[in-house]
Structure 1
Amino acid sequence: MKHPVDVHVGKRIRHRRWTLGTTQQQLADKVGIKFQQIQKYETGANRVSASRLWDIAGALNVPVSFFFEGMDSRAPVDGNLVADMPDDLLSDREALELLRSYYAIPETQRRRLFDLARVLSDAA
């Protein structure tokens, strides 16, 4: 049985990898493991050891804490995590492509786009 924390960490690994446009093979090569192991980490099938998470964080250029972000918004109940957010957006390729495109926009324009999106979502 997959532990919810392992699943969350795996999703964060996948999210960061996709955001950077890195393949599982490329990440595996940087960390010195096989890409199948990255697949298992990303699905939460295998736990990531502390030292391996450190290596992955370095390869993805994020602090180790990145992989645990969003855990505060979830409350443990009987060993499981109750998500208070919609379906897993990090597994949606379209959402990740949108994120990549968004961060490719210069910061001043990106801020204006963000403000526009906020106004449009409030109007909906």
Structure 2
Amino acid sequence: MDQEHQPPLRRAGKSRGKGKPNPIDIHVGRRLHTRRTQLGLSQERLAKAIGLTFQQIQKYETGINRVSSSRLFDLARALEIDVTYFFSGIENGLADAVGAVPLVPTNEGDPLEQRETIELVRAYYRIKNVRVRRQLVELARSLGKER
């Protein structure tokens, strides 16, 4: 096919519409938010650690601003994770992302990413007595069976 009759190439990662964040940027932002929350870091504290403002972290977390590769590297180091963490799970939503179907909002997504779950896990590990922790797990299991 000659060059003037070739269909235009779609740039990977390009937003589907003006002002709309790309679903991949949203996914990376959600992973950033999840990890920051797991570590109990505020946006301000993380921003200070890598020389940004907390507003910039907010924009990354919502996908409004894209994270450059060098900044992603800085974030991974500050959050003590591998860079690949940010893309984990995207394989499942990649077809949707390419088709511009929005990814599931964080509050409706994986329960392990919800603030309540993270707070529960933190509280659990603050319990020093192993026997008490086991009893708590058994209590949660028995309550989970009730309906």
What is the aligned partner in structure 2 of residue 58 from structure 1? 77
Instruction: Letter of the 2:49 partner, please give it.
Output: K
1:95 and 2:117 are equivalent in the alignment: yes
In the TM superposition, what whole-angstrom CA distance separates every residue of 1:26-69 from its partner, at most 9, and x where no partner exists?
Answer: 10011111110001001111110100000000000000001111
Structure-2 separation of matches of 1:50 and 1:40: 16
User: Judging changes above 3 Å, is the alpha-carbon distance between structure 1 residues 121 and 101 closer, same or farther for their aligned structure 2 residues?
Assistant: same
Structure with more of its chain in strand, by fraction: 1
Structure 1 residues 82 and 12: CA distance shift in structure 2, 3 A: closer
Q: Please, which runs of 5 or more residues in structure 2 have no aligned partner?
A: 1-19
CA distance in 2, matches of 1:112, 1:5: 41
Q: How large is the RMSD of aligned CA atoms in angstroms?
A: 2.8
Question: In the TM superposition, what is the alpha-carbon distance from 1:113 to its structure 2 partner?
Answer: 7.5
Q: Which has the higher contact order (CA 8 A, sep 6+)?
A: 1
Runs of 5+ consecutive residues of structure 1 not aligned to the other structure: none
How many Å separate the matches in 1 of 2:144 and 2:94? 27
Is the CA contact 2:29–2:60 (under 8 Å) kept in the aligned structure 1? Answer: yes
Normalising by structure 1, what TM-score? 0.75
